């Protein structure tokens, strides 16, 4: 057991404790601790996920006929069969003047978009996509910086039942083609370039090389990000984002789809051949990420959540689900240490970030740079720091509480692209121990196994999740051996 660095106050006001009380009342139980609640969640899988569905108030047009068709089937279990819903509709349930998105890119002013403005722009873009023939099941790709237009394009894509996949513009041509050639996108969203570490990077040459080998692409929509003057170098069948956006759209209709309809295509690292194209479902992504945001992050409508990521990392997809709760999300595109190491911490102060997500590598870099954010930033609203990508060292735990803020939850979390979510998570009702991840996620039957396939505790082993959960991938794209291939076509 590590040294305790932080203890929570007022845990009875957290969503986790409220959920625990809900379970006790509904099932006549006397659960008193998180460990007991976690045990119940993995031993009563259908009941647990039914209550997450009910608690999250998922918008749907048709309810389910059962929770799961076969709790022993892993992989391949069907979740919430019979239900019809739309991922984008759930993320766009709020249409008011609160801020939905803050966005900061290098060399560009801070932008903000309200929930009402976000809905209107998604409505306009969905109309434009449908007008050029994009339909349910088509693939739409983003070779795009972490900017609001990427979020809008993803939401418009999922609103009409198409499938979104994205890569960061710093990927090489081969890296992009190794991914996108597999899924044959009909539409590509991109930008004329991006800024990084004080430099302007032109994306047009790279874009043309990519499109030459992507014959499936019928239209390329280009966002003016760096005010590129090389308009004559825009690829054939391309149009500027602003010109493409409809000025008189039809009322947005959210395509009602099965729970397991494909939403995202993500990619493995490609270290053992071509990156594997992992397909994630709309319903599974929605309900799993809602659970993590609402219960494990204790996320509220008045929270402002940031994750330092690009559109090529699954944490970008994870961050966007905070919109379903009504929180403000923060996008950052650029180098985190440009013009100096104060950049992200100053941004946290300016916007009022309450949950600051980053990588263990970034925290380690701050430590090695002898950066002391508490000396130049108030961070008065910051209540949690989340770290993932690699284990957070004991020294990094100490660094955070000594040099950033003493009164916050430091959550070292762990998951993966293959589940588009987490196995281990932050927990608002548990203390933070030096060098330790706080808890296994609710509904995640996670253990360590030794080389003989036996469960071990306090020993090194392989992480294994032994029971089904909704955000398991539904198949690999184009894998004809997989019996679930093309099952989304109803």
Per-residue pLDDT reduced to its tens digit, 441-455: 999 999 999 999 999
- Which letter does DSSP use for residue 257 in this model? E
Residue 485's pLDDT band (cuts 50, 70, 90): very low
Q: What's the pLDDT tens digit per position in 294-315?
A: 999 999 999 999 999 999 999 9
- Please write down the HEC assignment for all residues of 49-109: HHHHHHHHCCCEEECCCCCECCCCCCCCCCECCCCEECHHHHHCCCCCCCEEEEEEECCCC
Q: Does 287 lie in the same domain as 220?
A: no
The DSSP call for residue 295 is: I
Whether residue 349 lies inside any domain: the answer is yes
Shared domain for 262 and 131, answered yes or no, is: no
147 and 38: one domain? no
The pLDDT assigned to 490 comes to 27
Evaluate if residue 243 carries a pLDDT over 70. yes
pLDDT above 50 (res 484) = no
**CATH number for position 275:** 3.40.50.12780
Q: Are 145 and 309 in contact (CB under 8 A)?
A: no
Query: Within a domain: residue 328?
Result: yes
Asked whether residue 86 is domain-assigned, the answer is yes
End-to-end CA distance of the chain: 51
Q: What is the pLDDT of residues 314-364, one digit of tens each?
A: 999 999 999 999 999 999 999 999 999 999 999 999 999 999 999 999 999
Residues 61 and 118 in one domain: no
Are 37 and 79 contained in the same domain? yes
- pLDDT tens profile 90-132: 999 999 999 999 999 999 999 999 999 999 999 999 999 999 9
The CA distance from 127 to 131, in Å, is 6
Same structural domain, 203 and 305: no
Q: pLDDT tens, 160-172?
A: 999 999 999 999 9
**Is there a single domain that holds both residue 105 and residue 35?**
no
SS3 297: coil
Residue 168 belongs to some domain of the structure: yes
Query: Helices 282-291 and 45-56 meet at what angle, rounded to 10?
Result: 80
Q: Is residue 192's pLDDT more than 60? A: yes
Last residue of a domain, one of 220, 244, 268: 244
Max Cα-Cα span within the chain:
69
Q: Quote the mean pLDDT of the chain.
A: 95
Structure tokens at 17: 């404790």
Within-domain flag for 172: yes
Q: Read off the pLDDT of residues 258-294 as tens digits, 9 standing for 90 and up.
A: 999 999 999 998 777 889 999 999 999 999 999 999 9
Q: Is residue 251 one of the residues assigned to a domain?
A: no
pLDDT bracket for residue 486 (50, 70, 90): very low
pLDDT at residue 335, rounded to an integer: 98
The residue among 210, 244, 278 that closes a domain is: 244
Q: How many C-beta atoms lie closer than 10 Å to residue 187's C-beta?
A: 23
293 and 339, same domain (yes or no): yes
Neighbours of 141 (CB within 10 A): 29
**Could you tell me the residue range of the domain that residue 139 belongs to?**
99-244
Q: Is pLDDT above 60 for 481?
A: no
CATH of the domain at 160: 3.40.50.980
Of 213, 244, 275, the one marking the end of a domain is: 244
Do residues 87 and 103 share a domain?
Answer: no
Please provide the size of the chain in residues: 490
Give the rounded distance of the alpha carbon of 267 from its chain centre: 14
What is the distance between the alpha carbons of residues 10 and 81, in angstroms, rounded to a whole number? 39
Q: Are residues 272 and 395 in the same domain?
A: yes
| Residues 88, 104 within the same domain | no
Residue 6's DSSP bridge partners are 432
Strand partners, 386: 357, 411
Tell me the helices (H) and strands (E) count for the chain, helix number first: 14, 28
Give the C-alpha separation, 267 to 312, whole Å.
9
Count the domains in the chain. 2
What's the pTM? 0.96
Q: Is residue 486 situated within a structural domain?
A: no
**Residue position matching structure tokens 């319903």:** 283
Whether residue 238 is found in the same domain as residue 273 = no
């Amino acid at each position: 057991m590590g040294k305790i660095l932080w203890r929570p106050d007022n845990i009875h006001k957290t969503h986790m404790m409220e959920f625990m009380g809900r379970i006790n009342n509904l099932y006549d139980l006397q659960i008193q601790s998180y460990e007991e609640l976690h045990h119940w969640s993995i031993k009563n899988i259908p009941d647990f996920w039914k209550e997450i569905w009910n608690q999250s108030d998922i918008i749907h047009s048709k309810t389910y006929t059962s929770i799961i068709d076969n709790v022993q089937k892993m992989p391949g279990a069907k979740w919430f069969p019979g239900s019809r819903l739309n991922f984008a509709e759930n993320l766009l349930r709020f249409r008011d003047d609160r801020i939905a998105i803050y966005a900061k890119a290098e060399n560009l002013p801070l932008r903000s978009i309200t929930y009402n403005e976000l809905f209107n722009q998604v409505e306009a873009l969905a109309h434009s996509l449908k007008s050029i023939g994009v339909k349910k099941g088509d693939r739409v790709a983003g070779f795009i910086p972490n900017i609001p237009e990427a979020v809008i394009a993803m939401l418009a894509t999922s609103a009409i039942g198409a499938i979104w996949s994205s890569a960061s513009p710093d990927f090489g041509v081969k890296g992009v083609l190794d991914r996108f050639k597999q899924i044959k996108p009909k539409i590509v969203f991109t930008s004329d370039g991006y800024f990084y570490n004080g430099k302007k990077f032109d994306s047009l040459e790279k874009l043309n090389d990519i499109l030459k080998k992507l014959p499936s692409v019928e239209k390329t929509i280009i966002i003016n990000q760096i005010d590129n003057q090389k308009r004559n170098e825009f690829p054939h069948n391309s149009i500027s984002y602003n010109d493409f956006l409809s000025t008189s759209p039809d009322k947005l209709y959210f395509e009602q789809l099965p729970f397991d309809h494909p939403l995202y295509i993500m990619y493995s690292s490609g270290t053992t051949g071509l990156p594997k194209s992992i397909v994630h479902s709309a319903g599974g992504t929605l309900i799993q990420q809602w659970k993590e945001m609402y219960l494990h992050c204790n996320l509220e409508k008045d929270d402002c959540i940031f994750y330092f990521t690009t559109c090529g990392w699954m944490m970008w997809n994870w961050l966007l689900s905070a919109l379903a709760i009504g929180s403000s999300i923060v996008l950052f595109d650029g180098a985190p240490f440009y013009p100096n190491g104060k950049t992200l911490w100053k941004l946290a102060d300016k916007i009022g970030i309450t949950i600051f997500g980053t990588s263990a590598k970034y925290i380690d870099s701050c430590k090695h740079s002898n950066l002391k954010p508490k000396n130049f930033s108030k961070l008065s609203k910051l209540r949690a720091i989340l770290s993932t990508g690699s284990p957070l060292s004991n020294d990094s735990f100490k660094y955070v509480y000594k040099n950033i803020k003493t009164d916050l939850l430091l959550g070292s979390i762990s998951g993966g692209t293959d589940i588009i979510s987490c196995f281990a998570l932050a927990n608002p009702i548990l203390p933070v121990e030096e060098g330790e991840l706080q808890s296994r996620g609710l509904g995640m039957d996670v253990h360590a196994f030794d080389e003989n396939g036996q469960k071990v505790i306090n020993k090194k082993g392989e992480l294994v999740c032994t029971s089904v959960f909704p955000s398991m991938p539904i198949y690999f794209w184009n894998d004809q051996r997989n019996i679930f291939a093309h099952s989304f076509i109803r």
